[in-house]
A and B are shown apart, each in its own frame.
Chain A
């Protein structure tokens, strides 16, 4: 997979189809590269001799240096000619941004696509696209997402890499991540995937040190690629979590089938089975994508399914009990040894049964001492802290206390509901690697994702 490296870490890039015209893809592309890319940039367009202070070449063949990556943004009918020139120039990687191929549903589009596949084969060029946004790489500065910063903000550097079958969803998610200050490593929109596909990209990101977690938005794999997908993802998910959101869940039912099995096997049911076999964590909604990502990125593996809840709000404790039980977690009754220890340190009106209720007169100190008693116990696999900030005794010290409790090496997540103070606590806790959720149900689902991922990892270790 080293050959994909040219897409992400090129030292020189030719951008074919640049233009100084306002609002055009070719202008935004060049602007973004100038702003972010750390290597050499060679604009190509026969109509100009200079653009934005850079010498403009009429073809790639004129460029006096070797080129690692070509970014192609010319009208579809010209793409074959341009690609041919890239081949002659011995360029081994090309991102074809241009649309107008198979996705149009026309015969001409399909023929053009076949043509570029043929040329790519002839010269041994790897192709990303066509009809895609291409790559946003937060390390090398490769940025073919042809949207200006004011339309799509760029997220800070981080551990999440994102593969998307939808370009529009990719750009929306990046913009959202930037707004929420969530870091990204590399993002890829592969469009029609005539060559480089999900499987290749997962393999590449799997061995990429900068990527700590992979998120995939997928509609469908290429025919015949399913088993390779399972095999590769299984290898990768032993090293890092892979979250998939599958779009197109509705069944292809209605087609007359010759057997029961064929009638029952919707497209989605088969994908969902494949995800399980590959060790993928499946997100069922948009919310779950990031709910899962933040727990999987920050928390250690969860060894069993026993959860203890420490709360200052009895009601939220009950809500959590319901949500956790529904997800199949166990909330063990507090064993007598722990009960005794807790009774010694807590006022008599506190409830030492699980959920452990520190009540509305709790202060952050009470959380600290209880966390220290609960977390080391062998029968505790994870702790959920409900720390509603409305109670009088709660101060910012709670953030330190919870973050310090990470040293016990067990998953800890926090539920926090409220206004500015709650948001402030959330931002600071998350900055220190403690995921915070507003809703008990979403917290329970996220913990379940961590549990499922942990079990599949632990099974592999065995």
Chain B
């Protein structure tokens, strides 16, 4: 589906937060590399998709009514075979019907499990004075405790995005830290630029978080995406 169709469908269904696979599809459309993910309607389909994506995979419940998936037993990582995928998908559905019996279930997201790397956050929002604004920061305590983030107003170039990375106080970590090699800043810049484009192209989008984005020495992957649409006034 095109970004326009994804948003249209969500609004028709009265949803102001896109489902995870929709959000990932949106950001991928604008050129960001993502940890590939597809929605399975049944455990069997989950098995089939897992085979297509290659192992290991992660399974996550997709529901407009559940925002903390782990709390209801809605996330299982390290799934290594088709049989395992089918079984774990069933397990997730069971967990959810027990812990959140009233939640509407859209399906199970099967996602290629990303290798560990440096976790960063890329975000975007629509400001009433400046319009689309993007944000960059390192994941975890850097964002949550230290609020160590930088901003730019869209439209922005790859150079602007690289500048944003230099601006955070923990910028040195991107250059390699202890045994970690430097991360691929160009790949991150591409994701930041994609975020700006997504906001520019879709006035219905109010804000988004790509959290985490995992950065590697070569490349970077959007692992989780949250896109919030504007509510009518």
Contact = CB atoms under 8 A, between A and B. Distances in A.
* A in complex with B: yes
A333 interface: no
19 contacts: A222-B129, A226-B129, A226-B131, A257-B207, A259-B228, A260-B209, A261-B123, A261-B209, A262-B125, A264-B149, A265-B123, A265-B133, A269-B149, A270-B129, A270-B153, A273-B151, A273-B152, A274-B153, A277-B153
Contacts of A230: 130, 153
Nearest to A220: B129
Nearest to B147: A264
Contacts of B226: 259
Contacts of A265: 123, 125, 127, 133, 135, 151
B160 interface: yes
Nearest to B150: A273
B128 interface: yes
A348 interface: no
A277 B155 CA distance: 11
- Chain A to chain B: the 10 pairs with minimum beta-carbon distance, closest first: A261-B123, A226-B130, A273-B151, A226-B129, A259-B207, A258-B228, A262-B207, A223-B128, A259-B209, A260-B209
Nearest to A222: B129
Interface in B127-161: 127-131, 133, 135, 137, 143, 147, 149-153, 156, 160
Interface residues of A, number: 23
Contacts of B113: none
Given A226-B130, A270-B153, 14 more contacts: A220-B129, A221-B129, A224-B129, A230-B130, A230-B153, A258-B17, A258-B206, A258-B228, A259-B123, A260-B211, A265-B135, A270-B127, A273-B152, A277-B153
Contacts of A224: 128-129, 131
Interface of B: 17, 121, 123-125, 127-131, 133, 135, 137, 143, 147, 149-153, 156, 160, 206-209, 211, 226, 228
B130, B133, B149, B226 interface centre (most CB from chain A within 10 Å): B130
A226 B133 CA distance: 11
Contacts of A222: 129
A247 to B, nearest CB: 15
B16 to A, nearest CB: 8
A224 B206 CA distance: 15
A269 B207 contact: no
Interface in A182-225: 220-225
A273 B129 contact: no
B17 A261 contact: no
